[in-house]
C-alpha cells in the first residue's frame, strides 16, 4: 500500500520503461485504481496494462486517459471466458423457458415455441399447468412424501400425495387425504381445488391455516377427508419450498437465469474469485425515486457525492419516477426529469465511469399497460440521458434479473404486500407479514401468485416471474415498510419508498451476501 503521489510516480516509470509518455490525468486514473493493491499486485497490473497497450499499435506513444481506461477495463476481466460476464442485466422478455421432462426427471430448455405478447388461448391455462408441474415434482421429492426414497421413516410421518381424479373416482369416504392444487372460486362464494386431472369442492368451515398468505390462484396442500363429493379441509399449508442446492441437480448445467451464456455462471470459478476479491463492492437499491421532486434530487446528489470516491457496482432505481401523474404531459415531464438527473450525475466523474445506473419502471411510468412483465421505458424518453451518460445507464423491464459474477438477483417494483393481504382467503392472526410474504413467494415459485384479474400477466412470459431455482436475492420495491428476510438461503428485501421512509435504501454486498440498511443523514437536510 502507498499514497497516491508515490503510486503515480510508479505508474509513470512503468510506462516510461515501455516507451510511453502518460498524461497526468491518465496516470492519476491508473494510480487511483491500483491504490488499494499490494506492491506485487500493482506490479502485475502495470505489466498487464503496458503489454495490452503495446499490442494496440497506437499512432503516438502519448497515452490519453481514454486509452488507459479501456486497457484497465479489459485487463481487469482478463482470464474470463467469452461467455462469462461480471455484470449482466437480463430483460424479462429474454428469460429462458424451462420445462420439466417427466421421463428424464429433469428440466430441459424449451426452444420450440416463439414468444409473443398475445399467444393462443391455450397459454392461459398452460402457464398455470407449468407452475403446477414445477411445484408437484418439488413436493413429490420432499422427504415428507418420498416414501420410496426414505423407507426407514416411521409410518405416521409419511404422507401420500394424491391427484384429484383419484378422489372423484371414489364413491366412499377417504380419510387422511392430502392434495396439491390451485385454490380458486369456480362459482362465486365457493372454493375449489383444481389440478390438471379435475376440480373438487372444498368445505373450509373447520380449516386451520398454517403460516403464509393464501390467495386465490395460489397452489396449496389441502389436508382433510373426502366425503360426499366434497373435500373437508382440516388444514391448509403452502407447498414446501426447496433450497437451491437441492434443486440444481435437476437442471444440470443449463443456464436457468438468463443471459448470453449457455451454461450456468453460478459455477464459474473465475467469476467467484472476482466476486470474493471485490470485498467493498456493493449494489444499491432505491424505490419510488421521484426525479421531479427537488428534495429527492438534493438527497440523490448527497448520495452520489458520498459514493463518488468509492463507487458501487450499480445503483438500481425503481419507479415510479415522477411524484404525480401529469396526464398527457407525463412522458414529456419524465424526459425532462431524466435529463436533469443526467446533469446531476455528470460532475461525479469516477462514479459515472465505474457505476451502472439501472432503471426499473413502476406501474405509473410511461408507456405500458399494467401487465407483468412490463417493458422498459421507451427509447424516445430516455434518449437524452443515454446520450449524456452512455453505457452507464441501463433501462430495463419490470421485473428484471441482475447477474453479478455468481450472484443471481431478481428485482420487482410492485406493491405486493397490499395486493397479497387484500386478496388473501385468510389473513394471518399471528406472525410477521414480511415473513409470511417471503415464505409464500418462495413456496409458489413466482413473484405474482395472484388472480389474473388482480395482477394481469403475459401468459407466455410468465417465466420472467419465476423464482425456481431460488435466486440469491429477491428485491421487491414496495410501499410497505422496509424489511430484510432470509429463507432457505435466499434473501427477500424491500428497500421501502425512498421519499416516504426519510430517504432510506438498501445496500447489498455480494462478497459477504449481506444486506445493510442505509439512509441519507438528516443533518444534510436543506
Phi, psi of 124 (to 5 degrees): -65, -40
Q: Which of 139-148, 170-179, 222-231 has the lowest mean pLDDT?
A: 139-148
Which pTM was predicted?
0.84
pLDDT the model gives residue 458 = 95
C-alpha closest to that of 88 among 393, 403, 357: 403
C-alpha closest to that of 164 among 183, 189, 144, 143: 183
User: pLDDT tens digits for 66-81?
Assistant: 888 877 776 766 567 6
CA dihedral (419, 423, 427, 431) positive or negative: negative
Distance CA 309, CA 327 (A): 40
Environment class of 524 (CB within 10 Å of its CB; exposed 0-12, middle 13-18, buried 19+)? middle
With respect to residue 196, please indicate whether it lies within any of the assigned structural domains: no
User: pLDDT tens digits for 6-28?
Assistant: 888 888 888 888 888 888 888 88
Distance CA 326, CA 291 (A): 13
With respect to residue 8, please indicate whether it lies within any of the assigned structural domains: yes
pLDDT the model gives residue 45 = 83
Collect all residues with Cβ–Cβ distance below 8 Å to 387 and sequence separation of at least 6. none
pLDDT the model gives residue 325 = 87
With respect to residue 121, please indicate whether it lies within any of the assigned structural domains: no
With respect to residue 13, please indicate whether it lies within any of the assigned structural domains: yes
pLDDT mean across residues, the chain: 90
Look up the domain containing 60 and give its range.
Answer: 4-76
Distance CA 516, CA 99 (A): 36
User: pLDDT tens digits for 232-289?
Assistant: 999 999 999 999 999 988 998 889 999 988 888 988 888 999 999 999 999 999 999 9
Which residue carries 395460489 as its cell?
A: 218
pLDDT classification of 149: cutoffs 50, 70, 90: very low
C-alpha closest to that of 363 among 347, 374, 378, 352: 374
With respect to residue 241, please indicate whether it lies within any of the assigned structural domains: no
Taking the C-alpha atoms of 396, 375, 292 and 477 in order, what is their torsion angle to the nearest 10 degrees?
-70
Longest dimension (CA), the chain: 92
**Residue 407: pLDDT above 70?**
yes
C-alpha closest to that of 199 among 209, 212, 187: 187
**Residue 519: pLDDT above 80?**
yes
Q: Which residues pair with 203 in a beta bridge?
A: 232
Domain count along the chain:
1
Distance CA 358, CA 391 (A): 11
Taking the C-alpha atoms of 333, 347, 352 and 95 in order, what is their torsion angle to the nearest 10 degrees?
-10
pLDDT the model gives residue 153 = 46
Give the count of beta carbons closer than 10 Å to the beta carbon of residue 462: 22
Distance CA 231, CA 224 (A): 7
Q: Which of 98-107, 141-150, 395-404, 426-435 has the lowest mean pLDDT?
A: 141-150
With respect to residue 261, please indicate whether it lies within any of the assigned structural domains: no
How do strand 219-227 and strand 514-519 relate by DSSP bridges? unpaired
CATH number of the domain to which 14 belongs? 1.10.8.60
Environment class of 219 (CB within 10 Å of its CB; exposed 0-12, middle 13-18, buried 19+)? buried
Give the count of beta carbons closer than 10 Å to the beta carbon of residue 176: 12
With respect to residue 42, please indicate whether it lies within any of the assigned structural domains: yes
pLDDT the model gives residue 492 = 98
With respect to residue 23, please indicate whether it lies within any of the assigned structural domains: yes
Distance CA 440, CA 438 (A): 5
First to last CA, the chain: 39
Contact 458, 371 (CB under 8 A): yes
Amino acid at each position: 500500500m502507498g499514497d497516491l503521489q508515490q503510486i503515480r510516480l510508479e505508474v509513470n516509470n512503468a510506462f516510461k520503461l515501455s516507451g510511453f509518455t502518460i498524461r497526468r490525468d491518465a496516470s492519476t486514473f491508473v494510480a487511483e485504481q491500483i491504490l488499494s493493491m499490494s506492491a506485487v499486485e500493482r506490479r502485475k497490473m502495470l505489466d498487464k496494462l503496458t503489454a495490452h497497450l503495446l499490442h494496440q499499435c497506437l499512432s503516438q506513444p502519448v497515452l490519453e486517459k481514454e486509452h488507459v481506461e479501456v486497457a484497465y477495463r479489459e485487463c481487469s476481466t482478463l482470464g474470463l471466458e467469452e461467455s462469462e460476464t461480471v455484470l449482466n442485466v437480463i430483460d424479462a422478455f429474454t428469460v429462458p423457458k424451462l420445462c420439466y421432462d417427466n421421463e428424464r426427471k429433469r428440466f430441459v430448455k424449451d426452444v420450440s415455441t416463439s414468444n409473443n405478447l398475445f399467444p393462443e388461448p391455450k397459454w392461459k391455462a398452460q402457464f398455470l399447468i407449468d407452475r403446477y408441474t414445477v411445484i408437484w415434482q418439488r413436493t413429490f421429492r420432499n422427504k415428507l412424501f418420498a416414501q420410496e426414497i426414505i423407507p426407514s421413516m416411521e409410518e405416521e410421518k409419511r404422507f401420500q400425495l394424491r391427484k384429484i381424479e383419484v378422489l372423484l373416482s371414489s364413491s366412499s369416504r377417504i380419510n387422511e387425504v392430502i392434495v396439491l392444487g390451485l385454490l380458486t372460486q369456480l362459482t362465486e362464494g365457493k372454493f375449489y381445488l383444481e389440478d390438471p386431472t379435475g376440480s373438487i369442492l372444498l368445505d373450509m368451515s373447520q380449516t386451520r391455516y398454517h403460516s403464509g398468505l393464501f390467495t386465490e390462484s395460489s397452489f396449496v396442500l389441502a389436508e382433510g377427508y373426502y366425503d360426499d363429493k366434497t373435500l373437508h379441509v382440516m388444514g391448509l399449508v403452502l407447498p414446501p419450498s426447496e433450497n437451491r442446492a437441492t434443486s440444481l441437480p435437476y437442471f444440470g448445467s443449463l443456464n436457468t437465469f438468463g443471459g448470453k451464456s449457455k451454461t450456468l455462471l453460478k459455477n464459474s470459478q473465475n467469476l467467484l474469485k472476482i466476486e470474493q476479491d471485490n470485498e467493498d463492492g456493493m449494489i444499491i437499491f432505491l424505490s419510488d425515486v421521484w426525479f421531479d421532486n427537488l428534495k429527492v434530487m438534493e438527497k440523490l446528489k448527497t448520495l452520489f457525492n458520498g459514493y463518488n470516491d468509492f463507487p458501487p457496482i450499480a445503483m438500481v432505481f425503481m419507479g415510479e419516477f415522477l411524484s404525480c401523474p401529469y396526464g398527457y404531459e407525463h412522458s414529456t415531464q419524465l424526459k425532462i426529469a431524466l435529463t436533469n438527473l443526467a446533469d446531476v450525475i455528470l460532475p461525479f466523474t469516477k462514479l459515472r465511469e465505474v457505476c451502472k445506473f439501472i432503471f426499473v419502471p413502476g406501474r405509473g411510468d410511461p408507456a405500458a399497460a399494467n401487465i407483468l412483465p412490463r417493458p422498459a421505458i421507451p427509447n424516445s424518453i430516455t434518449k437524452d440521458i443515454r446520450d449524456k451518460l452512455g453505457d452507464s445507464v441501463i433501462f430495463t423491464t419490470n421485473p428484471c434479473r441482475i447477474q453479478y459474477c455468481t450472484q443471481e438477483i431478481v428485482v420487482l417494483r410492485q406493491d405486493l404486500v397490499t395486493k397479497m393481504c387484500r386478496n388473501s382467503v385468510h389473513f394471518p392472526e399471528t406472525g410477521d407479514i414480511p415473513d409470511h410474504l417471503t415464505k409464500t413467494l418462495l413456496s409458489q415459485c413466482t413473484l405474482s401468485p395472484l388472480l389474473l384479474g388482480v395482477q394481469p400477466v403475459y401468459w407466455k412470459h410468465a417465466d420472467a416471474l419465476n423464482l425456481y431455482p431460488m435466486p440469491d436475492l429477491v428485491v421487491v420495491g414496495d410501499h410497505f415498510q422496509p424489511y430484510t428476510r432470509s429463507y432457505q438461503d435466499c434473501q427477500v428485501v424491500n428497500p421501502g419508498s425512498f421519499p416516504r421512509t426519510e430517504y432510506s435504501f438498501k445496500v447489498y454486498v455480494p462478497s459477504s451476501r449481506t444486506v445493510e440498511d442505509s439512509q441519507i443523514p438528516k443533518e444534510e437536510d436543506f
